Amino acid sequence: QIAPPRKKRKLDAKKEATLKQLYGVDTQLSWDEDADRMVPQLQWVVLQNMFTPQQQQQSASIEQFVRELETDVGSECGKIGPLDKVEIFETNPRGIVKVKFK
């Protein structure tokens, strides 16, 4: 049975403030980006403490660090299911990585 399409919702101020307080970013970590999908399923997973600022500084370059982390996270999360995107918030001190499954 196919669920009816859902309207794309805008985050209310309270929810947006909570996301900002928890993760230090605005609506970039919203769960509702693809709310208009026909079949409800797992879409985004937000991983915390995946890296530290010290690990970034020890790396030869930030670009290399991000590429290696994307590869590692992608290969591990790919064991669960096909991935659409891996997004790394390299300026976030909590080591946030956002993974989107297909």
Q: What is this structure's pTM?
A: 0.58
- Render pLDDT for 49-97 as a digit per residue (tens, 0 to 9): 999 989 988 888 889 999 999 999 999 999 988 899 999 998 888 999 9
Q: Where are the beta strands (DSSP E) in the chain?
A: 44-47, 83-88, 97-101
- Mean of the per-residue pLDDT values of the chain: 78
- At residue 56, the pLDDT reads 87
Per-residue pLDDT at 39 exceeds 70: no
